[in-house]
A and B are shown apart, each in its own frame.
Chain A
Amino acid sequence: MSDITLESMSEQYFDVLKELGNIGAGNATTALAQMLQCKVDMKVPQVKLLEFSEVGDLMGGEEQIMAGIYLCVEGDITGSIMFLLEKESARHLVSKLMGMEIPDEEFNEIEVSALKEIGNIITGAYLNSLSTITNLKIFPSVPDLTIDMAGAILSVPAIEFGTLGDKILLIQTQFTDDYELDGYFILVPDLESYAKILKALGLG
């Protein structure tokens, strides 16, 4: 199986990953709505296989300040998942969760941990749906958060993808409550895990 590369995956495989992305992001939206206790709409997520150089442009440039929540996945599949949110969107979510306005400055410790929790819930919902569909055990680690330039945050999953090929698989989700939030999921299963996911879905 180690001969698979992202580029060589068939259309069908790619469609499956897209669909997983859709369902996962849908679940994540529901979780977000429950957490914020308000209605949250989601646009149909876009799944993209991008060149490394294109990723930064998509998010408003490599220097766009983003909040990145990153966690490792263990169990039947191994890899990592990242959820990225533009800094202002992150501020909006944290304000909403804490029921107060967050001043326009650096996040304090409590706000950072609220943001980690948001990331935890969103990625958890995403992974849950993946686990349910594939019947594979997936255990997420404790998340870590960093707020920095998009390019720098993305270097982490890009490097993981870089061991497989020259592209990165990204799921863009737009959530709307009273504010449009652009979120991005990046799921990086290692190659063996890709094979396991596809096999679990009867496509291996």
Chain B
Amino acid sequence: MSEIIKVGMADLKTCKSPDGITTLGLGSCVGIAIRDPITKVGGLAHVMLPDSTTIKQNNNIYKFADTGIVELVRLMELEGAKKSRMVAKIAGGAQMFAFQNKSDLVRVGDRNVESSKATLKKLGIPILAEDTGENYGRTVIFYPETGDFVIRAVGKAERTI
């Protein structure tokens, strides 16, 4: 029987086909799903903040796009994935409210997306698809077997990217 592994907020995990991996209720956070299509090793990170270098409390490397993605890739390599074959899909980064205070947190959703893309680019991992921005929450399920990234949102049809 295959399982669906759950990833929390500021968390990341790896998984192997036929298992899937999910994270629920992404808001301004970004979910980064990575897969090695040959070994079918996958992983999902749920990052909250774009940049660990601008924040003092940065011990939790899972929390940031820059450090979280690097760690996820490292853990996937331990499971037998190869970085040169990895491909990614990303979702989330919504702006949940029409305004958000504190200039450095304005557009944190967008900045999470930008930082995720920049980090993936630096690692040489191509982004095959994304469903980012807008103003609504998303639940995502990723299947390393096929690379399907299923996205659910309130009052919207489920879609696969």
Q: Which residues of A contact B (CB under 8 A)?
A: 2, 5, 52-53, 55-56, 61-63, 65, 68, 70, 72-73, 78-80, 106, 141, 144, 146-156, 158-160, 162-166, 190
Contacts of A79 in B (CB 8 A): 101
| B24 interface neighbour in A5, A61, A72, A106, Cβ under 8 Å | A61
Contact B28 A155 (CB under 8 A): yes
Contacts of A63 in B (CB 8 A): 24-25, 139
Q: A78-B101, A159-B29 are in contact. Are A152 and B11 (CB under 8 A)?
A: no
Contact A153 B57 (CB under 8 A): no
Q: Is B45 close to A, CB under 8 A?
A: no
Contact B101 A146 (CB under 8 A): no
Please, how many angstroms separate the alpha-carbon atoms of A55 and B48 in the complex?
A: 15
Contact B101 A5 (CB under 8 A): no
Contacts of B20 in A (CB 8 A): none
Please, how many angstroms separate the alpha-carbon atoms of A14 and B97 in the complex?
A: 29
Please, how many angstroms separate the alpha-carbon atoms of A22 and B9 in the complex?
A: 28
Q: Which residues of B contact A (CB under 8 A)?
A: 8-11, 24-29, 48-49, 55-57, 60, 63, 94, 96-102, 105, 108, 135-139, 154-155
CB distance from B2 to the nearest CB of A (A): 21
Contacts of A151 in B (CB 8 A): 9, 24-27, 137, 139
Most buried by B among A70, A152, A162: A152
CB distance from A90 to the nearest CB of B (A): 14
Closest A residue, CB atoms, query B138: A152
Contact B99 A159 (CB under 8 A): no
CB distance from A194 to the nearest CB of B (A): 14
CB distance from B19 to the nearest CB of A (A): 20
Contacts of B56 in A (CB 8 A): 2
Contact B105 A159 (CB under 8 A): yes
CB distance from B26 to the nearest CB of A (A): 6
Please, how many angstroms separate the alpha-carbon atoms of A160 and B57 in the complex?
A: 12
Q: A144-B98, A151-B24 are in contact. Are A159 and B108 (CB under 8 A)?
A: yes
Please, how many angstroms separate the alpha-carbon atoms of A52 and B8 in the complex?
A: 8
Contact A162 B49 (CB under 8 A): yes
CB distance from B7 to the nearest CB of A (A): 9
Q: A72-B101, A148-B154, A160-B105 are in contact. Are A153 and B137 (CB under 8 A)?
A: yes
CB distance from B57 to the nearest CB of A (A): 5
Contact B29 A155 (CB under 8 A): yes
Closest B residue, CB atoms, query A143: B97
Contact B11 A164 (CB under 8 A): no
Closest B residue, CB atoms, query A162: B48
Contact B100 A150 (CB under 8 A): no
30 A–B contacts, CB within 8 A, in A order? A56-B24, A62-B139, A65-B154, A68-B96, A141-B101, A144-B99, A146-B135, A148-B25, A149-B27, A150-B25, A151-B25, A151-B137, A152-B25, A152-B94, A152-B96, A153-B96, A154-B25, A155-B28, A155-B29, A155-B96, A158-B29, A158-B48, A159-B29, A159-B49, A159-B108, A162-B10, A164-B57, A166-B57, A166-B60, A166-B63
